[in-house]
Structure 1
Amino acid sequence: MGQVAARSRHLPLFLCMPGFVLLWVLPPQEPGTAFQVDFPATGQVVVGRVFQSADYLDYAEEKQKNRCNLRHLRIKQHRKCTSGCKVSGGKAGFQSMRYRVIALYREYPLQFWVVVATAFVDRIGSALLFPFFALYVSARFDVGMTQVGVLFALFSVSNFFGSMLGGALTDHMGRKTVILVGLLVSGVTSVLMGLVTRLAWFYVMGMVAGLFAEAAEPAHQALLTDLLPEEKRADGFGLMRVAANLAIAIGPAIGGLLAARSYMTLFIADAVTSALAAVLFYRLVRETRPAGIHPQHGEQPSGLKDSFRGYRDVVRDGAFMTFMVVSMLSVLVYIQMYSTLSVYLRDVHGVAEQGFGIIMSLNASMVVLFQFAITRRVSRWPAMLVMALGSVLYAIGFALYGFVSAFWLFLAAMAIITLGEMVVVPVAQAVVAKFAPEDKRGRYMAVFGVSWMLPGAAGPLLAGVVMDNFDPRWVWYLAGVLGMVATLGFVVLHWKVESAEREASLPLG
């Protein structure tokens, strides 16, 4: 505690860093486009302003007697109204925060925001518990990092089977049922993990929790893909991450305080939030499984076996599988933040739970503040180069932990890692959504989940072996090397994608 308090002297200075990041990320503030709409039939004049965050005016045209259709009128291009009204516009004024929030809300369907809110509730409980998993297991059962690595490996193996099952069920049964079952079972297993007193039973509970929690993940990804058009998906996934990380910003700091008193309260809190999220999801979210997936008249409905056979088509998609393999190298580095970092900082540098909670809260706070702006900025860039940029930031940030010992530099390293995370994750999800045909979205999302599960199994185990048998700093040196290898892989993929697009654009003959 004393060490953390002493190191926290550097915290106020470091908190200025997000402001400098914001100045780099946000484009120059542009004035809004003012417009005026004249209704000759009634003599009514409507004045408003459209801003960068909302290209389309969503106006309640039903209130106008002549029903002038403004719903999809792009003001910036001054298209003519279809029923005789006149539109004129010019540059004027700056956008207010209130208008920007309203405009952002109107850009997405109501169901999207309901899903975001439900995910926020569930993530609060997970954020209380998961960052302290390694600390709990090592202290509760008096084991080393190798045994902790075994737990994460078993958890990831169950994630793999859960994802494969969930992907097939998502395309076969629909999204909503799979998500509800995952939430309820995860809540029950959270309580049981807090009650068991033997490591073997904890392993079993962890595998059950991993199986059902991951079964719901392809359904979540497919649900968002169903709700959003292609051009909105990267931004939509980014907004989902903002909500999740808002919960994570709250969770670790509170979780650190609760863990200092009783870890059981963390398991109970996770179970309660899972149950509450399940109730909200059941009452408010509709099924989004596309109608085209259902069998047509006279066709035999496909069974669950046929749904599993569809994985062969996913694996045969060479471009997608290459992208996934390179992504695994990047994730192998990133996963150390959730499995190895807390124990390393505690054992090597004396950073207690509260200190690690501050570090993780910085990660979540940056995502909340900057994720949407960064996603909008990088979504215009080639996707593979964006992934390469994120991997470079991973390499720098994680390698830094092997060279520094001051608390404020731990925070600086986390800030660099978080920039990479904000660049990589939403763009990767949007790339997968673009690869996936409508009738195989759940299965593509499930297979892409393997790029997290295999590193999630191997990463903590390998890092645990290194920490228990060699200088622990070698974990971070090797992470830097792997991050640079992943960067090179994404650059090569970019060249191949550009080459394929040029060949496709050439005239035949």
Structure 2
Amino acid sequence: MGKKAFSFFRLNSFHPIAWGLIFGTFLSRTGFFMSIPFLGIYLHEVKEIDPATTGAILAVSFFVSTFSSFFGGAWSDRIGRLPVIMFSMFLWGLVFIGFTIGEHVWQFFLLNALSGLCRSIFEPTARALLVDLTPQESRVDVFNARYFAINMGGAIGPLVGLSLGASETTLPFIISALIYFAYGSLTIYWKKKYDTAENSTEKNEKTSLLSCLKLISRDKVFRYFLMGNIFVAGGYAHLDTTLAQYLGSDKVGLYSILFFTNAASILLLQYPIIRYMKRYSPLTALKVGTLLFGAGIVGFGISHSLILLIIAMVLFTIGEILCFIIGDMLIGDIAPVHLRGAYYGASGLMFIGQSAGAWVGGILLAAFGFESGFIVFSILALLTVVAYPFFQFGHLLVKSKEPIEQANYITSKGAI
């Protein structure tokens, strides 16, 4: 039974560094979520910073992360993945130490901006390294495992932070810093122990940042994928923003149940769903995921019972699984070897949609009122499924290519 349960992990095909990245992702996400979600409360209640300024401090991290991710990925193409990861981990650890000793508003602006920069450097580089080290037939599995680690860290981190009194003490920030320092030290060990020269950028073609931008902008399939993902990210934003506002503080218990349903559905469903969807092409999976995202969002507006809301959340979560896990794998398939970091970095622009989605959701609630859930969430669902034609255009473009070229856009088991 044990062997069957883990048969789809392809354990033997994962490089030791890939396992290290997955476990490190779990630890780093745990550290991140045990402190950063409570940063706003800490700044307002402990440092006595006014709410508007606190909101601006929190927002600067997402702004910097969105618009600097390309550079982090591109740098890893030029100087190597492990040195970039090492730099980001040690700098991130110093940032968390800075949160414990900062006193002035400008310091917290700078620290949270640097936090966003570290995230934008680390994320695309780690994903590119996973692709470098993993055979194509196992990439879905490795990104599946990575997404599992992300959600485990996201589930455990806030609980640990809450138990440590994250909104009142700096202890969680110190622990988070130690985790990042340990992760950075681990990358030094990897670099000494494992010969990754065949996967490093030292043997790859060196390309300037401007040339990277030009090459990526000419990749039509990636352009369609990125445009579609902007709308997908906008749809995902409604889980944390529009839905929370719609339910209101008097239904916080209901929202907690739905949030738990999301986390539990990811942990329970992601492996069987991804295993089943391997028989289809990545772009087909993305189209299905987009429709399920839309169905779940509509469900939030028309459901008036707990059971129906849970069903809507399960549909929403399946869409999330398909779009984010398959999307990560697809980038690795379509990106040239010497530009993988840049491609993963450029994909960070999708989070423009997350900011826009939260903003549009608030506008619609204000315009139509909280009693018009069907209208509000139907409009939001339509905006989300705008991603579908972009994925379809990309799919048609792949089908129009020669068979040899198509191989770069599909998994070994995928079928156009």
> What's the TM-score once normalised by structure 2's chain length?
0.80
Give the counterpart of 1:316 among 199, 211, 218: 218
Give the counterpart of 1:326 among 228, 231, 242: 228
Letter in 2 for 1:376: R
Q: How far apart in 2 are the matches of 1:471 and 1:188?
A: 45
User: 1:438 Cα shift?
Assistant: 1.0
Letter in 1 for 2:2: M
Alignment of 1:214-253 (within 5 A): 214-253=120-159
Task: Note if contact 1:123-1:247 (Cα within 8 Å) is conserved in structure 2.
Answer: yes
CA displacement 1:346-376 (0-9 Å, x = unmatched): x454416xx7665444433332333222212
User: 2:414 aligns to what?
Assistant: none
Give the counterpart of 2:70 among 154, 160, 164: 164
SS in 1 for 2:252: coil
User: 1:491 aligns to what?
Assistant: 392
CA displacement 1:217-264 (0-9 Å, x = unmatched): 121011101111112112211111112222223234444555686374
Q: Structure 1 vs Structure 2: percent identity of aligned residues?
A: 24
Give the counterpart of 1:294 among 194, 199, 202: 202
C-alpha spacing 1:503/1:175, structure 2 compared with 1 (3 Å): closer
Q: How far apart in 2 are the matches of 1:312 and 1:504?
A: 20
Q: How far apart in 2 are the matches of 1:269 and 1:400?
A: 40
User: 2:275 aligns to what?
Assistant: 376
Structure 2's unaligned 5+ residue stretches are 407-416
C-alpha spacing 1:291/1:361, structure 2 compared with 1 (3 Å): same
Report 1 or 2 for greater relative contact order, CA contacts < 8 Å, sequence distance ≥ 6.
Answer: 2
SS in 1 for 2:130: helix
C-alpha spacing 1:137/1:257, structure 2 compared with 1 (3 Å): same
Alignment of 1:392-411 (within 5 A): 392-404=291-303, 410-411=309-310
User: 2:410 aligns to what?
Assistant: none
User: 1:97 aligns to what?
Assistant: 2
Alpha-carbon RMSD: 3.6
C-alpha spacing 1:169/1:410, structure 2 compared with 1 (3 Å): same
Give the counterpart of 2:51 among 123, 143, 150: 143
Task: Note if contact 2:24-2:183 (Cα within 8 Å) is conserved in structure 1.
Answer: yes
C-alpha spacing 1:374/1:206, structure 2 compared with 1 (3 Å): same
C-alpha spacing 1:478/1:263, structure 2 compared with 1 (3 Å): farther
CA displacement 1:165-184 (0-9 Å, x = unmatched): 21221011111111122222
Task: Note if contact 1:115-1:281 (Cα within 8 Å) is conserved in structure 2.
Answer: no
SS in 1 for 2:382: helix
Q: How far apart in 1 are the matches of 2:280 and 2:383?
A: 24
Q: Which deviates the most, 262-271 or 308-317? A: 262-271
Q: How far apart in 1 are the matches of 2:396 and 2:68?
A: 35
Task: Note if contact 2:230-2:354 (Cα within 8 Å) is conserved in structure 1.
Answer: no
Q: How far apart in 1 are the matches of 2:20 and 2:104?
A: 40
Q: How far apart in 2 are the matches of 1:468 and 1:260?
A: 33
User: 2:252 aligns to what?
Assistant: 351
Letter in 1 for 2:313: M
Q: How far apart in 2 are the matches of 1:143 and 1:476?
A: 28
Q: Which has the higher helix share?
A: 2
Letter in 2 for 1:382: S
Letter in 2 for 1:390: G
Length, aligned pairs only: 398
- 1:425 and 2:333 aligned: no
User: 1:401 Cα shift?
Assistant: 3.1
Q: How far apart in 2 are the matches of 1:334 and 1:399?
A: 13
Q: How far apart in 1 are the matches of 2:293 and 2:123?
A: 24
Alignment of 1:11-26 (within 5 A): none
User: 2:350 aligns to what?
Assistant: 451
SS in 1 for 2:263: helix
- 1:188 and 2:94 aligned: yes
Give the counterpart of 2:379 among 458, 463, 478: 478
> What's the TM-score once normalised by structure 1's chain length?
0.67
Task: Note if contact 2:293-2:315 (Cα within 8 Å) is conserved in structure 1.
Answer: yes
Task: Note if contact 1:171-1:441 (Cα within 8 Å) is conserved in structure 2.
Answer: yes
Structure 1's unaligned 5+ residue stretches are 1-95
SS in 2 for 1:401: helix
Task: Note if contact 1:134-1:339 (Cα within 8 Å) is conserved in structure 2.
Answer: no
C-alpha spacing 1:359/1:136, structure 2 compared with 1 (3 Å): farther
C-alpha spacing 1:120/1:171, structure 2 compared with 1 (3 Å): same
Q: How far apart in 2 are the matches of 1:417 and 1:266?
A: 32
Give the counterpart of 2:117 among 195, 200, 211: 211
Q: Which deviates the most, 397-406 or 375-384? A: 397-406
Task: Note if contact 1:330-1:486 (Cα within 8 Å) is conserved in structure 2.
Answer: yes
C-alpha spacing 1:257/1:399, structure 2 compared with 1 (3 Å): farther
